[in-house]
Amino acid sequence: MSRPFTALFVALVLATAACSTSGGSATLRHERTGTIDWSPCSHVECGSLSVPLDYEHPNGAHITLALARLPATGKKIGVLFTNPGGPGASGVEFLRTAPSVFTDKVLESFDIVSWDPRGVGASAPVDCIERLDAFYAVDRDPRTAAAVAQNVAASRALIAACQKNSGAVLPYLSTENSARDMDAIRAAIGEAKVSYLGYSYGTLLGALYADRFPTHIRAMVLDGPVDPARSYADSTLDQAKSFEHDLDAFFAYCRANSACAFARGNDPAVAYDDLAATITQEPIPGTVAGERRILGPGELDIGVASALYYGADGYGTLSSALAKAAGGDGSRMLALSDAYTGRETGGKYSNETAVLYATGCIDAPAPTTVAAVKRLADSAAVDAPRFGATTVWLGLPCTLWPVKAVGKVAPIHAAGAPPVIVVGALYDPATPYTWAQALASELDTAHLVTSGGASHTSYRRDNPCIDQNVDGYLLRLEVPASDPHCS
């Protein structure tokens, strides 16, 4: 997720996008470090830690965080914390894929530790609506009063369930509190300093941690960064335009490449707009895992955005899904949407959507009225006709959220922290490159490393230059001499 909250589009578990490597296997064993007991559990070691629900009242109610660790496979030089993004992504599940996410040398040299942040997965999970098909099926480009009312009703239903099932924890799910949890984990494992690699939303968590606990960091890398000083409206517009730009790049690819399965011999942009209009008027059927369903405009938008996260590597998947949809079969586009939203067969969803809103809505203030949301959506649609309105209307629950935002839109400086490596991709659709530039200028000790790619995040994306810069800093504390551009 971006900050301020803008859309579902930035919440993505990055493990499935990482490159494959032949990293060695860690030896899993029962062990105690500090006050944490680690026991083998499905490719990693698992532990838990009790932390205050409200840090202003540390002797009050507590919650339990679910932790995971992958011990160093060779000579250990320290502990590396990591967060995959979201908010809503499970750090425990992410760590199970570590051999495909980190280089062999990083796996050899660090105990890698991650966790389900508060509200996520097994860490006092937020419980809202288990079946979200109706929420995601809503047309997020409402052109009539009735369509706007449908958006409001879907958001209110989600919020009512969150209040009913998790009202006691909703006020305490800020990223600020997660940063304090992170330091509690550091202290519990007995480390004076830790290294950190955060992706997407995890860059906000890392920047806040560096600001609050600068002396507790050995090294920090922030990949696919969020700009905490960007206003809600500006962040929304930035992101919508970035996705629009990447979709235009996909259209250009289809015009020039016969391998594109969508709209062969025709203008793909026109074909796309015709398909979207058709689905808005009459959703098309599809079958996923034997389940007969309907592809509506909401799932179409999310499915397309899901493929764009992978840059050019996702063009084949996107063109195939669009071609099938144009032929009357929504199956592949529904599968893309499902993978993104955490939908399981039968209509049950993970709690990633609940956490996305529960954390995002209190991290920074949103527009205060539905009318203000409509004005912002109309403005966004001018510069991003295909993604502008959708991006804005997906944030509607934050306008109606029952807990007042506690975070502020302001630069983070992290005075006193060691060098922080900020990695940005020129054509990242979800966290635009301008955000990487901004964060690098705001942090007191940042060094910007630039990828020429179009995927969301850059480390382990088939760019040896990026990997060398990141690994050089994490392993040997080698800070880039200048801000390198890795084409």
Which residue from 458, 450, 459, 461 is spatially nearest to 487, judged by alpha carbons?
450
Is residue 48 flagged as an active site residue?
Answer: no
Is residue 25 flagged as an active site residue?
Answer: no
Catalytic residue among 109, 195, 200, 458: 200
Residues 6+ apart with CB under 8 A from 197: 80, 81, 82, 220, 221, 223, 459, 470, 474
3-state secondary structure 251-297: HHHHHHCCCCCCCCCCCHHHHHHHHHHHHHHCCEEEEECCEEEEECH
Please say whether the beta carbons of 319 and 308 come within 8 A.
no
Please say whether the beta carbons of 28 and 68 come within 8 A.
no
62-109: pLDDT as tens digits: 999 999 999 999 999 999 999 999 999 999 999 999 988 999 999 999
Phi, psi (deg, nearest 5) at residue 218: -90, -50
231-256: pLDDT as tens digits: 989 999 999 999 999 999 999 999 99
- Side-chain-side CA neighbours of 456 within 13 Å: the count stands at 35
DSSP 424: E
Beta bridge partners of 1: none
In this model, does residue 17 exceed pLDDT 50? no
**How deeply is 122 buried, as exposed, middle or buried, from its count of CB atoms within 10 A (0-12, 13-18, 19+)?**
middle
Is residue 50 flagged as an active site residue?
Answer: no
Task: List alpha helices for 415-484, DSSP H.
Answer: 433-442, 464-476
Phi, psi (deg, nearest 5) at residue 290: 80, 0
What does the pLDDT read at residue 21?
Answer: 37
250-280: pLDDT as tens digits: 999 999 999 999 998 899 999 999 999 999 9
| Measured CA distances, 201 to 79, 175, 180, 271, 417 (Å) | 21, 10, 16, 34, 20
Give, for 242, the enclosing helix (H) or strand (E).
helix 232-256
Phi, psi (deg, nearest 5) at residue 284: -110, 155
Catalytic residue among 139, 238, 428, 467: 428
Q: What is the dihedral of CA 358, 363, 368, 374, to 10 degrees?
A: -80
DSSP 355: H
As a whole number of angstroms, the distance between CA 224 and CA 431 comes to 6
As a whole number of angstroms, the distance between CA 45 and CA 38 comes to 6
**Average per-residue pLDDT for the chain:** 92
Residue with tokens 């250990």: 76
pLDDT band at 130 (very low <50, low <70, confident <90, very high): confident
Residues 6+ apart with CB under 8 A from 238: 230, 432, 434, 435
Q: In the chain, what are the domains?
A: 8-126+170-230+412-486 (3.40.50.1820), 232-341+367-400 (no CATH)
Tokens for 113, please give them: 């530790």
What does the pLDDT read at residue 34?
Answer: 67
Catalytic residue among 90, 306, 338, 456: 456
As a whole number of angstroms, the distance between CA 66 and CA 87 comes to 16
What does the pLDDT read at residue 74?
Answer: 97
| Predicted TM-score (pTM) of this structure | 0.92
387-431: pLDDT as tens digits: 999 999 999 999 999 999 998 899 999 999 999 999 999 999 999
In this model, does residue 310 exceed pLDDT 70? yes
What does the pLDDT read at residue 25?
Answer: 56
Tokens for 136, please give them: 């995601």
pLDDT band at 483 (very low <50, low <70, confident <90, very high): confident
What does the pLDDT read at residue 482?
Answer: 84
Give, for 106, the enclosing helix (H) or strand (E).
helix 104-109
Percent of the chain at pLDDT exceeding 70: 93
